[in-house]
Amino acid sequence: MSDTMTEPVADTARRPDRPGGLVTQGLAVGYRTRSPRRGHRAARAVLSGLDLEARAGELTVLLGPNGAGKSTLLRTLCGLLPPLGGRVHIGGVDLAHQPPAALARRLAVVLTDRVDAGLLSVRELAGLGRHPHTGFTGRLTAADHAAVAWSLKAVGAGHLADRPASELSDGERQRVLTARALAQEPAVVLLDEPTAFLDVPSRVALTVLLRDLARDKGLTVVVSTHDLELALRVADAVWLVDRDSGVHAGAPRT
């Protein structure tokens, strides 16, 4: 990684004793691939030895070149990929020890995978974020509907509420998926390139919104992005992926 990429990050000490937030200890992320020997699966680490912290009340941005492992790291942090080693703690609890229903109430994620919304309206798609709170019936209460309406308004998508989700542009869909995550009312929000399809004013607005939500509601927000300049202006902390399978954590330098 070039010097211009590493300069904005000042190394800071991790504080694992701080309540809330997300902490990794000796984390290794990657994939298990089947080897020619029957029944044997070999591990291929993409990033390893990660001791990271994303604090409650802060916006942490994840920076690095394409193919460096940012998406793999986020998928491991949210439990979609098992770690190859080490631990992930959310609110002081090991991710591996949290039942799926409890984890869904604590953590929300917005990935780059394309979502098939079927016949759902935008309001209904955002409303899926309330399901961890509704029980097996899935019926939304007045409070649930209010949370959905707020989340859509927060990302500037309130005017889209009655539109079929299948008719949204890529940028509109990304806003609605972000609203779905916010409607979940989690403690931790992980977002992979949430501003990728937005114009410059919308990128700024969404990034500032995420920072303000982190501060106002005590959320832990981790965002993967390629928008270096915006990230360094808005972020409270930076995780910078290098080309040696490591991540440098620190405060952005302005």
Q: What is the pLDDT along the chain (254 residues), one digit of tens a residue?
A: 333 333 334 343 333 334 469 999 999 998 877 655 655 667 778 898 999 999 999 999 999 888 888 889 999 999 888 999 999 999 888 888 888 888 888 899 998 777 777 789 999 999 999 988 887 777 889 999 999 999 999 888 999 999 999 898 878 888 899 899 999 999 999 999 888 878 888 888 888 889 998 998 899 999 998 888 888 889 999 999 887 767 888 888 65
* Residues contacting residue 154 through CB under 8 Å, at least 6 positions apart: 179, 182, 209, 213
Domain locations in the chain? 3-33+42-113+187-252
* C-alpha distance across the termini of the chain, in Å: 19
Enumerate residues 6+ apart whose C-beta is below 8 A from 75. 29, 81, 111
Report how far apart, in Å, the C-alpha atoms of 52 and of each of 27, 163, 209, 250 are. Answer: 9, 40, 24, 10
* Class at the top of the CATH hierarchy for domain 3-33+42-113+187-252: alpha beta
